[in-house]
Each structure stands twice: as structure tokens, then as C-alpha cells.
Structure 1
């Protein structure tokens, strides 16, 4: 069968070969007894949760992680039934019973959550798998240390009643991407103390985990039984100040491309896009790129975002609009349909997601995650071949 050609208007190319290679690189950084949880929340950081989950599992990940229970349930419904799936961002009234029936590992950070999951276990007649999360200093989700003894005691009581099984104890770093930050050691010490309390009280977790992407890459003492790489799995450096993707042996998975929709000659002094923040200095040619902030292109990168067109790096001319933006082709003979590469791995001269992050004064996590649903994902290297070179 002939493969459907990629859409010329716009597409996000997702290199699953690169993703598998990244997972293998991350696995190589941890000890053999440490498992890898592939975090596929937010539609796998914009890359497509189902395809990326399968590729990560092919490469040796043994857990999947999502933020919401709905993300986790969607993976189960799509046929991912074997591996453990953990979800951690619950709100009152969320589908605890469905989570139990789908055999999810569900994070509990407060007494209200424990009460809801226990009630759901009673209703379903099944034991719920729960993981207790401690706030060791991030100040977001997680149980405060002062409340930890009560949460642990109540969870172990529910476990003795056969209603729950405490499968994990975990927390999350605030500043793991800043080596030497004093909070890192403080959080690690507190996590160890809270683990000791829970285990002395009778907890026998399957996994204890703390390490996110930067900790997986740079803090081996934080790996415990499982690591949770997210952005690193997609080949984006979690800390550009420490090293690039290439420095960590990772390759960016997403490339964002579009076909030039229109090329036209304009005179000097011609205003471009809303507000005329860009005015041509001389007679030139303008190229129209059919992507805008409705597709996730940051408006804040207006006048700064880099684009590779016709073998040369250009800059967004004027404001990014909802559906389109303009580049000044500087008289070059570029034709409609020519490829514009907003970002990719960077090894062919194209910008990277990090370059766009700098242009938009944000982080590369946001650049890839915000690419909208109307940009089709085109998957490359779907066949798992451990010997293949990513991108070939």
C-alpha cells in the first residue's frame, strides 16, 4: 500500500525512533533495578500519548505516567492493559471507581482523596492501588510533612481492611534543573525521613520515586526504585543551562513544518500584519506561513521567532496572528508550497524548540506541548529497530 503523503499545509513530524532511542539512553543512566516510568501526560507533551506510550514500552519503560485519571483511562481503553499506569492529579468527584476497575495506580495527597478512594473500593468490591505523595518542598500537590503520619496511618488501616494497597511513596522536586540548589538536598533528606516513617509504620511499597527528567539525568542518588522522565523522553533538555539535548545524548522527537501558502512582492515601506510592527525597509518578497497562535505558535515570539525557509534562517515579520504569520524572504526566489521548518532537531540548520523558547521568553516544554490539535501528527520510524539511527 502507498503511504498517505504528509499534509503540506502544516504537520508535526513525530520521530518514534528518536523517542525509543531516548528511552534507552535514559534507562542506561539508571541502575538495572530502577524502573522507568514514561510520562505521557498532556497528550505526551503534545506528541501523541498512545503512539508515544507504545514506543516507550517497546524501548523498555515499564510504567506509564499521566496527570489526570481521564488520560490514564483513555490509554486503558485504547488497549494498553499490561503495564502499570499511574495518575496523580485528582479532584473531588473524579472517577475513582473507574480507576480501580482499570487497575490504575492512583495518587493520594490528602484525607479527602483517601476517603473517596476507600468509598469507591467499597462500591466496586475491589482493592484500590494507591500511592501516597508527600510535599517535600515543591509546594504544589502532596501531603504536608506535619499531616503525613495521619495520612499514612489511615491508608495502612484501609490496607488492613483490604480496601487499598499502598503501592508507592513518592514526591517531586522543585529545582532539580538547578544543580547545587539547596532545596535539592533538603527535599531528598525529607523524602528519606518520610519514607522511613511510613515503612516503620508498616508500609511496604512496590516503588519509591522522586526523580523527574533533570534528576534522572544528573542526580543518581535520587533514583530509588523508579524514575519519571517526561520532557527528556521527547529529546528536549530539561535544563539548557546545564546541557543541550545532544549533551545528554538525546534527540528531539518533534519537528514542526508547514508549506508556504503565499509569496508576493511588496514595495519598501509596506506594513506587515496587525499593528504594522514590521515595515519593509526595501522592496522584498513576503512568505505566508499558515500557522498561528491557534496552533500553538506563541504570539509573544512575534518579530523574534526563527524559521528555516529556502535554506536560510528567517525571523517572524510582525505579529503572529491566529492562523498565520509572515516571514520576509528578502527577495529570495521561494515558491508557494516551499517548506518552512519552525523547529526540529537542529542538525540540518533548522531552529529548535529551545530557540523558540528563547524567542518567546518561555521554556521548550511549553513550545512542544502547546502545538494544537488542528496540526496533524505524522509518525515516523514506527517500526522498533534498536539498531536504527534516530531520524534515518
Structure 2
């Protein structure tokens, strides 16, 4: 991967919960100093006790963060989770609580999440609920977590019947995104993260979507400058939504779930981990766009451009060859989606590239027809 030049930043303006997202190469060793600065700024004289939550796959990255925390004067404990969605569960959260109790953590203790979306979601939920809320910092190590789960304060775990059904809103003190760690990311995981980047272009920024089309080749090469721009723009677009609808009360924040109603059902029914989240989102965006076509909201050309870009980024756009799922099971699972209302299906659907809307009471027959069409 090309070396990064400079550091980008995005400010998330949420009054007393405002925070900064820093994006650049070589930031992991700086995380300890940044955590100390953010704690002092928010709480004044603060404690110097930190719990680092990570998983086995990124323990080397976490050790660099821990070293930086030690240099900044922190005493640390490290909690290592098993990789994968199974760690987003109540027993795992209970084990994090046990470690926090053992280290005599209090409300001045900071929890630092170093890892992908699973680590950030689980650690963030533990931070939101332990002692009724302790500070935490996100240090994402995957592209998906960089642009999605590390920003916006949504934390949570899975229920056997639905993904992220148990959770909270708990904003981080700050987010540290070191683009150099993406050079170690497996190809499949890297590409899965690009699905969420594409999503931002579809839902908010047609110009950014066009930039992605023009730069797909160098993004495939993990070019440092291109990555920093893609991540910074994605974070800015998400922050714009979060600032206006932090707790998802007006419906605006729901636009961030474009493709996710299909995706979450696919993930759950295939078995968590069989489809990576970003892969499910890529497939779900195409199903949602086909549904929008069927409802007369967009033309086929808008769907084709999404297909072509996802193809260029080597992402899946159909379940065919990946999972065989029953249509009735998919429809029933969708009724558990957080956007569903009284069992009625609601979808985020595009009207053009750069704009989507939350659509109520989508006829089940139309959804079934799209599922049947895409399966054939």
C-alpha cells in the first residue's frame, strides 16, 4: 500500500458528546496520547486506567496501542475476544464486565476498542452499560469499521433471532483510524468494507459515487491517498447524518441502512459469518435497487451503475452460488428489522444516485417478486 501523506480529520458535532475522527498512516502509536488528551478535555483530571478490548486476529495492533497507553501513563488490562460475530453475545459481554470488576474499573476508566466491527460493537456495548456508562475510544482496524461501526455511537450485540437487536447509543470520546493497518487486512475483508463506502455514494453523494467509479482500480490496489480520501469522505457523510438524527428518531439516520434490511436477513439465515457483513450489504443494495425499480422509483441505469461499481470492486451482487435461502424465511426475518413497524416492511430505497428515502408499507408481494427474480 502506498504511504500516506498527512492526516485527515472529521469533527462530529453533538454538543457535549462531540468528538474527532483522525484518519492517517502511522496513528496507532499515537493512540495513547490521544486518549489521554481526549479524556482530559472531556473530564478534566481523569483516571489513568484503561481496558483494551481486542481479538486474537489483531492482537499485534492492540499491543502497539497498549504501548502508547503505557507511554502516556496509563495502567492497562487487555481483554482478548474470539474473532467473529459469536463474540457479540451476552456471555461475552459478561466476561468483559468480569474483567472490568477485577481491575476495579470506575467511571473514569477508559475502554479502548481495537479491532473490527465486532470488537467495537461488543466493547462499546460493555462501555455503555458498565457502571451506567464509561468512556471509550474506537481504534478500528478494518475498512468496514473505519467507515461504519466506529462512527455514530451505535453499539450492540446479536440476539439469536436478529442482528444488533440488543444495544445502545454511546458515543466514543474519539476515533483513531490508522490506514496503514489496512495493508494487513485479508482481501475478502477489505473488499467487504468497500461495500459501505459505495453505500455512502448511493445514499448521499452522487459526485463521490462518480469518484469511486473513476478510482476503483487504485482502490483495489489499496492506494494510501485514495483510501484516506474514501474513508474521510465516508466518515464525513455519516457524521452529517448522525449530527441531525443521533438517536434515529426522525427517520433520517435510517438512510444509513440502505441495503441492510435484505442484508441482515441474509446474514442471519445463512448463519453469522457465512456472509461477511459488507458482502451481505453489497447484495442487499442490489436487491433494494431492484425493488425500487419495481416500484417505479428509479430507472434500470441507476441499478446498473451500482452493479458495475460493485463488480469492479470484486463484491458479490447476488445470493446465487453463495447461499440458498427460503423466500418465506427471508420475509419473516425482515419483519424483525428495526425499521419494520407493526410487522409491516419498510425499506430505504433510492430515487436517484445520491438520494434515498425511507418507504413505508412496501407490499410483500413486490418484495417476494424481487427475491424470486434474483434467485432465478
Q: TM-score, normalised by structure 2?
A: 0.32
- Rg comparison, structure with higher value: 1
Q: Which one has a larger percent helix, Structure 1 or Structure 2?
A: 2
Q: Which one has a larger percent strand, Structure 1 or Structure 2?
A: 1
Question: Bigger relative contact order, structure 1 or 2, given CA contacts below 8 A and separation 6+?
Answer: 1
